Amino acid sequence: MDDEWICGRLGEDEPWMLGAVNPPIFENSLFTFANAAELGEAIRNEDERYVYWRGTNPTVDLAQRKLAALERAERAKCFASGMGAISATISSLVSAGDHVLVLGAVYGPTTQFLRYLEKFGVTHTHVVDLDACDSAIKDHTRLLYFESPSYMRYEIFDIPAVTRWAAGHGLVTVMDNTWSTPIFQKPLTMGVDLVVHSLSKYAGGHSDLVGGVVAGPSRLVRPLALTEYQLYGAAMSPHDAAKVIRGLRTLPVRMAAHQERGLAVAAFLEGHPAVRRVNHPGLPSHPGHRLALRQMSGFSSLFSFELATEERDEVAAFLDELRHFRVGVSWGGFESLVNAPALSTEESVRATMGIPAGLVRLSVGLEPAETLIKDLGGALERMGNA
């Protein structure tokens, strides 16, 4: 199926929609049944049947169907946050005594969650590249978790090579695909077992919802939908699901615009003397650019660059000099945002990920690139003259 058709029309012509141009929002917390036998059968299959809001409902189900189709997955399950999806997915795959391999830099709270699992006897090891996995794997390793592009540093991993290695060692692979969205990258088609997303970012696209999703084969998604999803209680609301559906309708168009503006800003920064390096896989100078072109069909507008300083005060001063970029966490909406891990990320997590103090992350929004470039150029100049 065509991605644009999936985003805009999949499931939206069914009888239950009654011809509504926008899918109805089912606000009811529960559904009733004709008899006890029907209720019992529904409860046994609560991941697919509408019983109680904590399980699923028609509005959430439509969002899940669209996301599964985009990722070329059998099933998808939406959560109330990206971390809801990540924590439930990891929990569903490990038990006390198991070990997790983490390849490259990953989202900070994911690392924090893995540290949290240590009190339940689940350990983990961070490795910088696939070669290091050979010496880090243990007899009780069960899971390999990674992002590509990686968190904050935006390194590119050879996804088919990673999944072949993991499969050869009997490991399940989970990949965070939030950066690319399924518009620009489809990890399941390259052998990844499960894909997770924060729907708060590009998928939602308007900075007005928090949500997450896991997508993959039914044999892996159904058990966590019946267990971790139900027990952790991180259920997506139908109102947030409606916002996801709305965001998906414009996702292909927005991602094309984000790509154009992001590359223009990155190219400007790459040529600036106050910038040491730019970490954007869409630039030909990026070490993983050629690999990215093989396994991705486009590039989002989230990237980082390193200022020519290691002083946190100077990094903070640069952020304060910006007039158009707003200082804040998250990304993927209309507005352009700036953040610096040295100012907001736990130092031990930053050290684990190899993130330097002078690194600045930009989320290039949908404003004119010329406006954003002028803002960055002015801030760099004022910083240099301070």
The CB density around residue 32, as the number of other CB atoms within 10 Å, is 8
How far apart CA 153 and CA 89 sit, in angstroms, is 24
The CB density around residue 12, as the number of other CB atoms within 10 Å, is 15
Which residues lie below 8 Å from residue 281, measured CB to CB, with a gap of 6+? 149, 154, 156, 288, 289, 292, 296, 299, 303
Side chain identity, residue 163: T
How far apart CA 211 and CA 204 sit, in angstroms, is 9
Burial class (CB in 10 A: 0-12, 13-18, 19+), 201: buried
Side chain identity, residue 190: M
For the stretch 75-91, what's the b/e string if a residue is b when 16 or more beta carbons lie within 10 angstroms of its beta carbon?
bbbbbbbbbbbbbbbbb
The CB density around residue 339, as the number of other CB atoms within 10 Å, is 23
| Residue 183 contacts residue 252 (beta carbons within 8 Å) | yes
How far apart CA 248 and CA 8 sit, in angstroms, is 7
Nearest to 179 by CA among 40, 301, 83, 35: 301
Instruction: Point out the residues that are catalytic.
Output: 54, 107, 176, 201
**Packing angle of the helix pair 369-385, 238-270 (nearest 10 deg):** 60
